[in-house]
Homo-oligomer: A and B are copies of this chain.
Amino acid sequence: MTPEIKRIMVKLVASASCSPNASRHKIELPAKASNANVVKEKVLMNGVCIKQLKAISEKRLYHTIFHHMSTESACPHNPTISCNDCRLSSLCLPLGFTRSELTEIDEMIKQRPLLQKGDVLYRTSDLFEHIYVIRSGCIKTAILTPQGEEKITGFYLPGDIIGMDGIDNEHYSNSATALDTTSVCKIPFDQIEVLATQLPSLQRHMFTIMSREIVSDQQTMLILNKNKAEARICAFLISLSNRFQRQNLSATRWTLPMSRGDLANYLGLTIESVSRVFTKLRNLQVISIDKRDITINNIDHLQAAANMQDM
């Protein structure tokens, strides 16, 4: 590990105190981080393992750390943090709760599982009992077709809530799989229901997040309806950029959480088509790509390409 990277990491880890008032980071990835230098140590933050990979490039490690740092004020993946201290609570819970109401909710969310890349949170037709809030990392949800193929229905980032598709018939209609080291809050839905009858603002909040999921699914349908591969991918990149920005991450420089295969599956294209569009956009200087690290150089062009006439 180069001294430069070590210095930044130490600084980051040091600022990760479990305090609700810790200032929010706005971090850009410096070009100094290199893929050449490989870190073989386990990386711990406040005693929690955030990377189990045996070898990881400095650049990727740096990405991982600042990603976790900027999505939560306190220790990423730390299962002991309460809703009172959680930076995501504004997304997760309605505003205006009293301290005692918050504590009541905190009591309800006892479990905050830590998933490693590839771990399955729930499977299609598992009994529906919980909804989950993503605290860090990334989750993909997918439906199994009658032919046994997996069709990805969404990618979920910190602050997003998943599992609500299971309310209808008591079983999840999707499966949920971690694309990276991911921590989630596991919330028992029956307790939500009871609490929601007592706290109208919680009931309203539940309606709101479900409505938001409906709108977001329809936005996805909109992207899939664009018939040009380039338009789909550009629209997806813009949507991802906006979501990172909402997490106070850079809007123009980030790492794709998913593989080309997952992306192609989600967008209804083949891997080859995705790869070709990426190459084309890179040749046009619209984006720079290094494996899954994306830099957006020309957001206007991306926007124009996403909106291209397609019916």
CB of A197 to closest CB in B, whole Å: 5
Q: Is the CB of B211 within 8 A of A307?
A: no
Report chain B residues within 8 Å CB of A311.
149, 265, 270
Assess whether A203 is interfacial by the CB under 8 Å rule.
Answer: yes
**What string of 1s and 0s marks CB contacts (under 8 Å) between A216-236 and chain B?**
011011101111000000000
**CA–CA, A287 and B61, complex, Å:** 57
Report chain B residues within 8 Å CB of A197.
196-198, 200, 203
- The count of residues in chain A whose C-beta lies closer than 8 Å to any C-beta of chain B is 46
Report chain B residues within 8 Å CB of A143.
218, 222
Assess whether A215 is interfacial by the CB under 8 Å rule.
Answer: yes
**CA–CA, A206 and B193, complex, Å:** 11
Q: Is the CB of A168 within 8 A of B211?
A: yes
CB of A162 to closest CB in B, whole Å: 11
Closest B residue to A174 by CB, please name it.
B218
Question: Would you list which residues of chain A between 117 and 162 have a CB under 8 Å from chain B?
Answer: 143, 145-147, 149, 151, 153
Q: Is the CB of B265 within 8 A of A164?
A: no
- Tell me whether A153 and B218 are in contact in the complex, defined as CB-CB below 8 angstroms, given that A165-B211, A211-B166 are known contacts: yes
